[in-house]
Chains A and B, each alone.
Chain A
Amino acid sequence: MTPADSAIEVRLRVNGLDREIDVDPCRLLVEVLRDDLGLTGAHVGCDSSQCGACVVLLNGLAAKACTVLAAQCNESEVTTIEGLSSGSELHRVQAAFQEHHALQCGFCTPGMIMTTVDLLTTNPSPTEAEITEALHGNLCRCTGYVNIVRAVLSLAAHSSSEGGEG
């Protein structure tokens, strides 16, 4: 049997950059992103895969980085919130969150945005019900989700502009 705690080599492409790191097999992707790669945009809000503050794109699909071992991501492509846009340019989901005041404390926001990016990639014109279902695994305590849903709805392909005033 292989001795426990022996580090294994993992090759990743993170936000477009190739990375080779040695990790303890029990380390979670979110720990490696935050502690080894300095990408602290993905947050840890719970220990039971419920809150979604840690969501990143793993090979293009939303994944809870707290429920994936870094070892499982060998040869994978990871996009974090930091890789979504560069310079002063914003990704359109980020811009919509800004525009619609879809965040308050901002702790859940990176996960919300990454989940939304995944949603719009697979379903460019989600209905309100589809949006709230897609966000089922992303908890927010500040906004009551009202402006988050409004922001995502504004990006739906069928949406002409902002929804009605509350």
Chain B
Amino acid sequence: MTEFDQGARVNEIRHESGSRTEHFRLIRGDGRFTADLRIAGLLHAAFVRSPIGHARLVGVSTQEAHQCPGVEAVFTSGELPALSAQLPSPFEIPGFDTRLQSVLAREEARHAGEAAAVVIGTGAQEARTGATRLELELIPLPAVIDVEKALLPDSPRTYSDAAGNLAGRLTRGFGDVDSAFKQAQRVVSRRFSAARAAGAAMEPRCVVVDPSGSDGYALTVYEGTQAPHAVRRSIAKVLGLADKDVRVVAPDVGGGFGPKGRTYPETVALAAIALAIGRPLRWEASRSEDLLTTFHGRGLVVQADIASDEQGHVLGLRARLIQDCGAYLPTAAVVPLNTAQHLLGPYRIPACRFDLELVYTNKTPISPLRGGGRELGVFVLERMLDHLADALDLDPLEIRARNLLQPEDFPYDTGYPSRAGGTVVYDSGQYPACLETAKALVGYDDLCAAQEVDRQAGIYRGVGISMFLESTGLERERARAELTPGGRVQLMVGSPSTGQGHATSFSQVFAREARLPISLIDYRSGDTHLVDTGIGTFASRMAVIAGNAAAAAGKAFRERLREAASEELEAAAFDIDLAGSVLQVAGAPGRGISLETLAGRLESRGHLAKVAVDEEFAPERPTSFAGGAHAAVVRIDPELRSIEIERYVVVHDCGTILNQAIVDGQIHGGVAHGLGNALGEALLYAEDGSLISDSFLLYPIPRAAWVPKIEVKHLASPSPFNPLGVKGAGEGGTIGALATIARAVEHALAPFDVTCDDLPIRLHDSRLVPHAANRQ
């Protein structure tokens, strides 16, 4: 059944939490984030931005800014060719009206925060003060804010030369949906929406560019990015350089969550200006600037119909997805495609058709954000199952049980067209067990039974359980390893860690395969100089792709070590074992050589490079599917309309676990992010397209007292699609949380007419009017 050596797989959870090697620096304040870098002669940049969503830029008055003390230079789009260039698109969508962002706005600003000028100062304060003195002459134009109204014929346009605001349409699906709906005994239709939300990584974006050439590159760029290689490609392309002339380094990265995986105009602008003036430059976003300009997530409206028989077996699913893309493509396009695919969830769905409409608005562009669109597919599907259960008077868990894929169904060909060609195939899973486990852990039956008594005492408590599925892994990644002259091992991966503990997990995987102690391994990543390729840390792909690359590198490294030792020890390579940091001839005590000695000898002969490996993992099926069930218990104060999350349980199946503490941490953080999206986070815009929620005074990040103690239970169905059997774990916490909370809130407020199909859920907008039937 599997294309890999069974012996390499471990069909049980590995409890190898140990100590996280990256923590030591960070807990002592020795982390090196981009803003912590100090370079001599550094100048600072500040951007001047449109405060409103749509305006014609008729002029820029720079004179006053030039006269500010400490202002060294002012740049507008015309000053350098690169400043009026478009940011390159990493992919094309045929038939789409693809509009790309310019580094600096020229004639028109199409979202609040779009930059039109840069002020360079001797210090950050000087640059910013200069920026406040620079005046953009803007003529306001009507702004497109509401994504549904944007599709009306009389709507203002984001692009005056376009016929409307539609960037393009896509249809996805399979099976005979029309006859499924004709045969159906029950059809339920609902509308859903999800507000725009922010990644809000705690580290705001920051870029440092060094054009000194001191490391042999024309340009070295430091940025807390999720994708240094993609940033390098964009910079090189815009500046007309070769990739090999540009080095991009992601130092410690203070969280990513998707939006930090893009190439931003500020990065390219700094690169162009630094190269032009020959001075190192830095730009650090304030939080307000970060909320305004770092790409947003979510922003979707869905109209969905589900067809079933009288027993609740799903016959077909239809949906129209309207994605708010903001002012520019292409990153937004990925999002509704993920949403659509995840509308299938872990269920047997015989037919579906999804119509996607991608719409331009005068808002910040959209990017995948923790979940990457998957969370809204799962949200809509799970909500539809809840509503279908209500319509059929079935328990919502029962309707799920009737439609879930069974363990013997895997690998399961969904029939859904894959973006990579062919169809989407789920690798493994045990969804019925996940559902039963969640139900038992949270005490579902008891909670339901206690509800009536609680309500009489004025306690409104509800429980929600829903399933989730997450496509994880993508593309390819490399792991390199080298023996150092001192006898240590340097392990290198292209894409950076943004908090996922790669240094620990990948060193651990490598060390196990190489049979070396983990303490000998130094891990480095996120530097295009060290590993020339890398796709990026997103799509919950790193454990799946880089994890397997590290394992392959470990295995190969062991062979290189044995070969090198065999020459030194005059023994056959296959006779040599590794014990700790000593290479030992099997059955011959005393005939051994320490790694340190071996390295020293190889170094002296110029042979150290013999013990170096470079392994790429690029599987035929790079995607594995993690999944499981979430359960939440909420208590609601109907007077204050406040929601307290009393318990939160995740039953999680991400196959083989590389490091349980790290996986648990990913789930905790993912759930907290989802709770924020479910219950409060929303980026709100005013009519003129200015952003209302432009600081942490107005954009609510979940706080400690509000996030419950999240309980995690693992069930492991290792993936047959990769040697380690891993599936990604970065986003399942968020993906499962939305529908779970929505159901729990509805359940608690069952006596009232409350429906939670719009995110974030705002009880204050509901009147909490009792159902006529329940009125006493």
A contacts B: CB pair < 8 Å: yes
For the complex, is B773 an interface residue (Cβ under 8 Å from A)? no
Residues B203 and A107 in contact, CB atoms below 8 Å apart: yes
Which of B232-282 touch A at CB < 8 Å?
252-255, 257
Residues of A within 8 A of B408 (CB): none
Which of B721-755 touch A at CB < 8 Å?
733
Interface string of B29-60 (1 = CB under 8 A from A): 11111011010000000000000000000000
Give the shortest distance, in Å, between A84 (CB) and chain B (any CB).
8
Which of B494-534 touch A at CB < 8 Å?
498-501
Number of CB contacts from chain A to chain B under 8 A: 195
For the complex, is A154 an interface residue (Cβ under 8 Å from B)? no
* CB closest residue in chain A, given B370: A141
Residues B28 and A85 in contact, CB atoms below 8 Å apart: yes
Give the shortest distance, in Å, between B393 (CB) and chain A (any CB).
36
Residues of A within 8 A of B20 (CB): 98, 101
For the complex, is B668 an interface residue (Cβ under 8 Å from A)? yes
Interface string of B170-183 (1 = CB under 8 A from A): 00000000000000
Interface string of B465-506 (1 = CB under 8 A from A): 000000000000000000000000000000000111100000
For the complex, is B19 an interface residue (Cβ under 8 Å from A)? yes
Give the shortest distance, in Å, between B543 (CB) and chain A (any CB).
14
Cα–Cα distance between A8 and B363 once the two chains are bound (Å): 44
Residues of B within 8 A of A34 (CB): 35-36
For the complex, is B664 an interface residue (Cβ under 8 Å from A)? yes
Known: A53-B202, A109-B27. A149 touches B500 (CB 8 A): no
Name, among A85, A107, A132, A133, the residue most crowded by chain B CB atoms within 10 Å (CB to CB).
A107
Residues of A within 8 A of B697 (CB): 48, 50
Residues of A within 8 A of B253 (CB): 105
Residues of B within 8 A of A140 (CB): 202, 669, 704
Residues B704 and A104 in contact, CB atoms below 8 Å apart: no
Residues of B within 8 A of A157 (CB): none
Known: A45-B287, A51-B696, A140-B202. A82 touches B710 (CB 8 A): no
Q: Which of B29, B200, B704 touches A136 (beta carbons < 8 Å)?
A: B704
Cα–Cα distance between A81 and B704 once the two chains are bound (Å): 21
Cα–Cα distance between A129 and B706 once the two chains are bound (Å): 10
Cα–Cα distance between A139 and B25 once the two chains are bound (Å): 20
Residues B712 and A105 in contact, CB atoms below 8 Å apart: no
Residues A144 and B672 in contact, CB atoms below 8 Å apart: yes
Residues of A within 8 A of B96 (CB): none
Interface string of B672-705 (1 = CB under 8 A from A): 1100000000000000000000011100011111
For the complex, is A64 an interface residue (Cβ under 8 Å from B)? no
Cα–Cα distance between A97 and B36 once the two chains are bound (Å): 22
For the complex, is B201 an interface residue (Cβ under 8 Å from A)? yes
For the complex, is B661 an interface residue (Cβ under 8 Å from A)? yes
Name, among B17, B254, B712, the residue most crowded by chain A CB atoms within 10 Å (CB to CB).
B254
Q: Which of A27, A48, A105, A131 touches B287 (beta carbons < 8 Å)?
A: A48
Residues A107 and B254 in contact, CB atoms below 8 Å apart: yes
* CB closest residue in chain A, given B659: A101
Residues of A within 8 A of B499 (CB): 104-106, 142
Q: Which of A90, A99, A101 touches B665 (beta carbons < 8 Å)?
A: A101
Residues A48 and B17 in contact, CB atoms below 8 Å apart: no
For the complex, is A39 an interface residue (Cβ under 8 Å from B)? yes
Give the shortest distance, in Å, between A33 (CB) and chain B (any CB).
10
Q: Which of B17, B695, B707, B733 touches A145 (beta carbons < 8 Å)?
A: B707
Residues B668 and A113 in contact, CB atoms below 8 Å apart: no
Residues B23 and A105 in contact, CB atoms below 8 Å apart: no
Residues of B within 8 A of A145 (CB): 668, 672, 703-704, 707
Known: A47-B695, A104-B501, A106-B254. A98 touches B27 (CB 8 A): yes
Q: Which of B32, B203, B286, B668 touches A105 (beta carbons < 8 Å)?
A: B203
Residues A101 and B17 in contact, CB atoms below 8 Å apart: yes
Residues B709 and A149 in contact, CB atoms below 8 Å apart: yes
Cα–Cα distance between A22 and B673 once the two chains are bound (Å): 43
Give the shortest distance, in Å, between A83 (CB) and chain B (any CB).
9
Residues of A within 8 A of B772 (CB): none
* CB closest residue in chain A, given B701: A139
Residues of B within 8 A of A44 (CB): 35, 204, 284
Residues A129 and B705 in contact, CB atoms below 8 Å apart: yes
Residues of B within 8 A of A46 (CB): 204, 287, 695-696
Residues A40 and B672 in contact, CB atoms below 8 Å apart: no
Known: A104-B499, A104-B501, A144-B668. A149 touches B704 (CB 8 A): yes
Residues A109 and B26 in contact, CB atoms below 8 Å apart: yes
For the complex, is A143 an interface residue (Cβ under 8 Å from B)? yes
Residues B669 and A98 in contact, CB atoms below 8 Å apart: no
Known: A48-B697, A98-B19, A142-B499. A148 touches B704 (CB 8 A): yes
Cα–Cα distance between A53 and B664 once the two chains are bound (Å): 23
* CB closest residue in chain B, given A97: B27
Given contacts A51-B701, A82-B29, A144-B672, 19 further A-B contacts (CB under 8 A): A40-B32, A40-B36, A85-B28, A90-B27, A101-B665, A103-B26, A105-B201, A106-B27, A107-B33, A107-B203, A108-B202, A113-B27, A131-B704, A141-B255, A143-B668, A144-B702, A146-B709, A147-B664, A149-B709
Q: Top 5 nearest A-B pairs by Cβ distance?
A: A41-B29, A106-B26, A105-B499, A107-B254, A144-B672
Mind listing 18 A-B residue pairs with CB under 8 Å? A43-B203, A44-B204, A47-B288, A48-B695, A51-B287, A53-B202, A90-B28, A103-B26, A103-B27, A109-B26, A129-B705, A133-B704, A135-B703, A141-B701, A142-B202, A145-B707, A146-B665, A166-B712
Residues of B within 8 A of A (CB): 17, 19-20, 22-33, 35-36, 38, 125, 200-204, 252-255, 257, 284, 286-288, 498-501, 661-662, 664-666, 668-673, 695-697, 701-705, 707, 709-712, 733
Residues of A within 8 A of B (CB): 24, 26-27, 34, 38-48, 50-51, 53, 80-82, 84-85, 90, 94, 97-99, 101, 103-110, 113, 128-129, 131-133, 135-136, 138-149, 166
